[in-house]
Chains A and B, each alone.
Chain A
């Protein structure tokens, strides 16, 4: 909405049903009061968490990204610093204030990250973001300015880094990865299976020459998804790929043990619980807890010996959830090492629901009993907390008033535009109809509680019918430039048609149906453009984007002239 003097206040109106929220990644803030879920549509939901019971309610929806959120990370090592960094599939990065939901900084990089880890380096005052993704380097960024501080490159077989882990070697044991080091160490693994190690002293020069790896070794591990080093002994490394997880000796990167995924499941990631135990989770949304064999435990006398038949990784616990609707994509999961109730495994899925397991701590005696018992069955554990956007919506009394509740139909809204001069809100719907409602009253119903909510006479609305399917986009050209007629409203739909409407009369002036694909976007060309009464129309013809120019809205010569393929 825009008021006087260029002040624009965005307003989001909710309906009776919860918004879809297909979660792509999840993060629990360090103070454990906010859970952050990013979704495939680019929104980020903040959930207010009760830190002892982990009961949570959705508090805020952060809108800004235009593509799936691929990673979320803390911005600072300071415990009560309430900032978080998000990164999307188009290379957008944002730093958000969790308290008021404001975006403090944003950049769009030519690099797309698939993973971002915050780490407090030697010699820097706060956390740095270690990013890897669809490029052959590791970028180290400042979380608040979102500038690239320096770059880690490869001399040998440069390729995309698929997993990385940053650590500070313990003074006691400095055997990590071939070399004796005392600074921070970055371990990276390329998609084609080259392990690399960079050593950082903390006074890296700013953004000039790249820093090259100190060591590099080829191992037999393609397309790794995650890599983490055991934090206590720093001698063993867990590497997870979709088909198996493996424990490696960090000294020479030889495989110590390996576990295949269950049939129909693929591993996603994993973490050390302690030197002899790991938690690994799969795309089926289950967590598996394993006790490692003696040859994979650094302090054991049998460390690094050949694996033996009767001592293989022992599955002792499965964190799962029964009787739930199947999800349509792998859930996002995250392990939290410590909380008020112990270690946690968080899962958030395509249905907008959040589940939390308390990762059980089983002592060795119980474990040995389980192992020697006849059935050797792993125990199952259900999550102790479960909630969802749908639950939160149904708990709301009274429910939110939708924009078009008066129409009493369940048709989804697919496009909307606000016309400040007319005070109207124009809404395109899935069934092809376009509805015009008075904006102020609609917002009032939503935001203000009072007697007006009890009235039966809803603000009057107008319906435009011309499309034969979902309305994808709406444009009011006069809004962008005065050269356009102020009665004209343009809409584009899934039915390959562009409709030109008379806004005041509510009539269809013309329907253009010469495209060979659905209309995805309508744009006004810049002022300086030679054909100044045109419109740009972007449509998708079997995935090749085309821009067509619709000539002349004013002089009633309505035809298409040029077609660009991009």
Chain B
């Protein structure tokens, strides 16, 4: 008798989880993600005004490298770069990125797009929809988790590229004036930081020598974006664990 009551209770709780709790958590998740989208300083539909522009001074070795950038959305719309490179003697270089040919940070666009995909998955679930099984919920949560993980990773782990790729990259053509052929410049995002790096390849007595200079600046909105990504991931994972570990994992509700 007790067992039957217990089972009945469990069954009801499971129905509550599928029919009420899942929707409630998805709503919560939706508002976190909408909040996250707002942190990106870029318009997501054409009627929302232009990109917000912010100025950053990147700091590295003070006497070797100076870099001031204007960041607007997923582009570096303007940059003033000056640095010293050790050759036979020290050589000074100066170059810029101009408004009409911005340097694109694909990581920001990728993160924003993955975020939109996650929102799109949530948006696809009608508010009064009754989930049929825990597998169905797990599948949807898996999709959302995938988007969030990819979005977060695209900011945290920059795509690895060879020096050759960097030198040939389309962004290198943004630089005015062009710089020496043995140098590669790169802007990328690593977590909440915008990093600027200069790589020099030289051949010393037949062996390849590789030097790097680096400067960085912390971008406040990136930090907020990452926090919201993590909060959303945790919430989603908690719900997934809850659904998966319910006592009747394979029950099908009609």
Are both chains from one complex?
yes
Which residues of A line the B interface, CB within 8 A? 22, 40, 89, 110, 112, 134-136, 153, 158-160, 191, 208, 210, 218, 223, 242, 263-264, 266, 325-326, 328-329, 350, 542-544
Contacts of A40 in B (CB 8 A): 139, 142
Tell me the bound Cα distance from A110 to B157 in angstroms. Answer: 11
Q: Are A158 and B104 in contact (CB under 8 A)?
A: yes
Contact mask for chain B residues 104-128; partner A; CB cutoff 8 A; 1 contact, 0 none: 1010011001101000100010100
List 9 contacting pairs A-B, 8 Å CB cutoff, sorted by A.
Answer: A40-B139, A135-B110, A159-B113, A191-B113, A191-B116, A208-B168, A242-B124, A328-B132, A543-B236
- Contact, CB under 8 Å: B124 / A266: yes
| Residue pair B124, A542 in contact (C-beta under 8 Å) | no
Is there a chain A Cβ closer than 8 Å to B6's Cβ?
no
Q: In the complex the two chains form, is B113's CB within 8 Å of A134's CB?
A: yes
Q: Which residues of B contact A153 (CB under 8 A)?
A: 170
- List the 9 shortest-distance A-B pairs measured between CB atoms, nearest first: A328-B135, A328-B136, A543-B237, A329-B139, A326-B132, A542-B234, A543-B233, A110-B159, A328-B139
Q: Per-position contact with A for B128-146: 1 when CB-CB < 8 Å, else 0?
A: 0100110110111010011
- Interchain CB contact under 8 A, A134 and B133: no
Task: Summarize B's interface: helix, strand, loop or mixed.
Answer: helix
Chain B residue, CB-CB nearest to A329: B139
Restricting to B207-254, which residues have a CB under 8 Å from any CB of A? 230, 233-234, 236-238, 252
Q: Does B192 contact A (CB under 8 A)?
A: no
Contact of A350 among B104, B135, B150 (CB under 8 A): B135
Which B residues are in CB contact (< 8 Å) with A542?
233-234, 237-238
Cross-chain contact of A329 among B109, B136, B238 (Cβ < 8 A): B136
The answer to the question of B160 belonging to the interface, with a C-beta cut-off of 8 Å to chain A, is yes
Tell me the smallest distance from the CB of A211 to a CB of chain B, in Å: 12
Residues of B within 8 A of A208 (CB): 168
> Given A110-B159, A223-B120 in contact, is the A543-B234 Cβ separation under 8 Å?
yes
Complex alpha-carbon distance, A325 and B126, angstroms: 21
Residues of A near B159 (CB, < 8 A) are: 110
A-B contact count (CB 8 A): 63
With a CB–CB cut-off of 8 A, which chain B residues contact A160?
Answer: 109-110, 113
Residues of B within 8 A of A (CB): 46, 104, 106, 109-110, 113-114, 116, 120, 124, 126, 129, 132-133, 135-136, 138-140, 142, 145-146, 149-150, 159-160, 168, 170, 230, 233-234, 236-238, 252
Cα-based distance from A135 to B135 in the complex (angstroms):
30
Measured in the bound complex, the distance between the Cα atoms of B46 and A191 in whole Å is 13
Q: How far is the CB of A160 from chain B (nearest CB, A)?
A: 5
CA distance A89 to B147 in the complex (A): 11
Nearest CB on B from A467, distance (A): 15
For the complex, what is the distance from the CA of A89 to the CA of B139, rounded to whole Å? 15
State in angstroms the CA–CA spacing of A40 and B135 once bound together: 13
B140 nearest in chain A by CB position: A329
- Which of A136, A263, A264 gathers most chain B CB within 10 Å? A136
The residues of B that contact A110 with a CB separation of less than 8 Å are: 159-160
Bound CA span A266–B129, Å: 13
When the two chains form their complex, are residues B133 and A328 in contact, meaning their CB atoms are under 8 A apart? yes
* B84 smallest CB distance to A (angstroms): 31
Tell me, rounded to whole Å, the shortest Cβ–Cβ distance linking B24 to chain A.
Answer: 19
CA A22 to CA B146, docked complex, whole Å: 17
